Copies of this chain bind each other. A is one copy, B any other.
């Protein structure tokens, strides 16, 4: 049983109550806490040494990344973050200066986004550092964007450029809070997610939640320079340091994780208006229309030779 199968099994029977608007299975839980115009977003995320960072990662970047991942999930709901709690599990021989710098990186990012670190907890994990952050945010009632609203005919958009995040961006990415908030304020966003598992995997999360399929245009996928340079020659398992087989840039853009860009859908009639307005509002961040939502299921990739089905592991049998 892999992680996704386990989650599916566990989340079937979770206790709920009248506060829960959306529970497990989206970027954040959505809670109704009795405020007229607002709903609340509740998120937890963890980073683990050897998987999300190594002992050679600058500690400030470890702390920054731990918080940025949660902020990216709040962005994916078009929300605004309020307060975080930080659990840090440390080997008994921890180096206080190193831990202090982890907090420095986290605190600096928190201040940038007006987020309070309202407490937390330290505990012991003898073999490796693990940081678990929980974040509370807010969203205007009715403006929350779930994964399950994509409709056949929608245009699919993605911010930034994809792939090769391991070459550096996984530690330096900017959570797209302002962009998500702006787009949800000015357009009716049907579905949104942040890219943590890779474009193919995360698009599939939207499709499964919305019970639709997608056709994406090969030439429209924004491929990062890192992916083009072969960022995939970096080890994918930083735990063992085993070098991954070389990945073609398109495959890297489709399947590399930790891009933390936004993927969302809106009615296709609004697509051109969005692209024009975006260019004025965010001139330094690319927005790409990469395809459309279609009836059915799964992902088709279209190129000059026709449409090709993307298989379950995100791999497509062409170059």
- Point out residues on A near B: beta carbons under 8 Å: 1, 3, 6-7, 9-11, 13-17, 19-20, 23-26, 28-29, 31, 33-35, 38, 40, 42-46, 48, 50-51, 82-83, 85-87, 89, 94, 96, 99-100, 103, 107, 110-111, 114-128, 130, 132, 134, 136, 138, 239
Asked whether, in the complex, the Cβ of B42 is within 8 Å of the Cβ of A9, the reply is no
Asked whether, in the complex, the Cβ of A83 is within 8 Å of the Cβ of B20, the reply is yes
Of chain B, the residue at the smallest CB distance from A37 is B34
In the bound complex, what is the Cα–Cα distance between A128 and B45 (angstroms)? 18
> By CB atoms of chain B within 10 A, which of A24, A44, A82 has the most?
A44
Shortest C-beta distance, A120 to chain B (Å), equals 6
Of chain B, the residue at the smallest CB distance from A96 is B1
Partner among B19, B25, B118 whose Cβ is within 8 Å of the Cβ of A24: B118
Q: A9-B100, A34-B38 are in contact. Are A17 and B114 (CB under 8 A)?
A: yes
A28 proximity list for chain B (CB < 8 A): 119
A117 proximity list for chain B (CB < 8 A): 14-16, 23-24
A7 proximity list for chain B (CB < 8 A): 122
A118 proximity list for chain B (CB < 8 A): 14, 16, 20, 23-24, 29, 31, 42
Partner among B48, B124, B134 whose Cβ is within 8 Å of the Cβ of A134: B134
Partner among B33, B45, B48 whose Cβ is within 8 Å of the Cβ of A82: B33
Asked whether, in the complex, the Cβ of A15 is within 8 Å of the Cβ of B111, the reply is yes
Q: A10-B99, A35-B33, A35-B34 are in contact. Are A17 and B83 (CB under 8 A)?
A: yes
Asked whether, in the complex, the Cβ of A85 is within 8 Å of the Cβ of B29, the reply is yes
Asked whether, in the complex, the Cβ of A44 is within 8 Å of the Cβ of B125, the reply is no
In the bound complex, what is the Cα–Cα distance between A10 and B11 (angstroms)? 35
Q: A17-B115, A35-B35, A136-B31 are in contact. Are A48 and B89 (CB under 8 A)?
A: yes
Asked whether, in the complex, the Cβ of A130 is within 8 Å of the Cβ of B24, the reply is no
Given A10-B103, A44-B86, 9 more contacts at CB 8 Å? Answer: A6-B96, A6-B122, A10-B99, A23-B119, A42-B118, A89-B130, A125-B125, A126-B128, A127-B128
In the bound complex, what is the Cα–Cα distance between A34 and B48 (angstroms)? 35
Shortest C-beta distance, A286 to chain B (Å), equals 29
A14 proximity list for chain B (CB < 8 A): 103, 107, 116-119
Of chain B, the residue at the smallest CB distance from A3 is B122
Q: List 29 A-B contacts (CB under 8 A).
A: A10-B99, A13-B103, A15-B116, A16-B116, A16-B118, A19-B83, A23-B117, A24-B119, A25-B119, A29-B83, A29-B118, A31-B82, A31-B83, A31-B118, A33-B35, A33-B40, A35-B35, A42-B119, A42-B136, A44-B120, A44-B134, A46-B89, A46-B121, A48-B123, A48-B124, A125-B125, A125-B128, A126-B127, A130-B130
Shortest C-beta distance, A2 to chain B (Å), equals 10
Closest 3 interchain pairs by CB?
A134-B134, A29-B118, A24-B119
A31 proximity list for chain B (CB < 8 A): 82-83, 118, 136
Of chain B, the residue at the smallest CB distance from A106 is B15
